[in-house]
A and B are shown apart, each in its own frame.
Chain A
């Protein structure tokens, strides 16, 4: 393949704006080849799904009208009247779920290959913030079609947020735009979903990608121990990037297959005077927390069970985020024997609680 730098367009631009920092960023990185190389692709897939979200989200914006009396109707219009509307809306829903799934896979693969060790602590922190923002993206987007399931899931979700000590009531009103879930909540969630979150996400994503590109790929212990002559690398650009694109294509095909064969149901329109239907469930990535809260007794010591659960999840989240900095007896937690078991426990907890949530 001809080098990008050989093209006339490149030379024309380079003469005027000096593209060397850009080419350095692109060409200096090498990707190690070993039995765990597959995990290097997970972040790329997450990025691709985010790009799909931005693209389909912008298209949906052309027809979506927020508001108690227009949101549901406009989504119905997109699905039934607009050419390929069903396709765009379903890709957006599926891609959102897959993006969170791949973000989780990416995070745990970074955990188990110990990629968060020095000097990549900030990459881990920014990645975790991106996951939280992604989950909030999902939570806010879930309400936008204004259907019954989303309405009650939002009622429950924001009510749980109201149990946060000290700032709970304030947080609930801030999220709901009032005392209850109403059209004001919908306007607010729309604002979060299409303005505030994209802006915040872009900042952290840029930071995350710049760090990855500058620091290069983390090498697992099994690879660093190898003698130099046995270490195999491929260049990031174009070799790894082309493999990345190929995988993106496969993911796109999978996304289209899911969209065509398993489209999302719009359900019935939200009615604030209708009884909650059976089977109200949060989106799957909140299920493990939601299920845990259900198991807590009404009171633990002197605090309410729910508040205790929220504080515990909050603390676990903070610990998880600062994991690369934690030292026990002057030794980094990552280098201790407990590290592996913490990851196994976290995965097992998430999977088991999620399954119980769906099966019970």
Chain B
């Protein structure tokens, strides 16, 4: 009977101990996870006037928190893609000589439609809509 009481108290102490540890660990872990960003979601940005961009060139712009690459092709047309490589998150660049999008981190190539054509990238780059109104360029998500 005496042993039982000891056993009971040990169990109680054990449960209390685990509870105490959990009550310390849980807030610590929650603290370490950053709160959700309150930045408004962006659906379009202004990218300036057409004449700012030479033919066969590109620029990386900030679309909310995401980098977007705006390319002016030889034909004078514009296209825009997410500038984040789908492989390991590096930022891509436009190659004027090969007319491709390159990720220099691991030599991944995309064509001017954003399709992954060689190297490790597993998926195409997300495309953005480019519209030109009165010489002003606007980049927006495909959903608008």
Contacts and interface: CB of A to CB of B under 8 A. Distances in A.
Interface of A: 152, 155-156, 159-160, 170, 173-174, 177-180, 184, 272-280, 294, 298
Contacts, number: 58
A351 to B, nearest CB: 22
A280 B90 contact: yes
B24 interface: no
Nearest to B103: A276
A178 B89 contact: no
Contacts of B33: 170, 173-174
What are the nearest 6 A-B pairs in CB distance?
Answer: A275-B93, A276-B90, A278-B104, A159-B89, A156-B88, A280-B105
B89 A156 contact: yes
Interface centre among A173, A174, A272, A276 (most CB of B within 10 A): A276
Contact of A298 (B93, B103, B122): B122
Interface in B99-144: 103-106, 120, 122
A261 to B, nearest CB: 30
A277 B93 CA distance: 9
B89 A155 contact: yes
Given A178-B34, A275-B93, A152 B65 contact: no
Contacts of A177: 34
A275 B32 contact: no
Nearest to B66: A180
A179 B65 CA distance: 10
A277 B122 contact: no
B91 interface: yes
B105 A152 contact: yes
Nearest to A191: B32
Nearest to B58: A275
Nearest to A176: B34
B128 to A, nearest CB: 15
A272 B104 CA distance: 15
Contacts of A179: 37, 65
5 contacts: A156-B90, A184-B34, A276-B103, A277-B104, A280-B104
A174 B92 contact: no
Nearest to A280: B105
B34 A160 contact: no
A160 B65 CA distance: 21
A136 B104 CA distance: 25
B29 to A, nearest CB: 8
Contacts of A174: 32-33
B46 interface: no
Nearest to A275: B93
A156 to B, nearest CB: 4
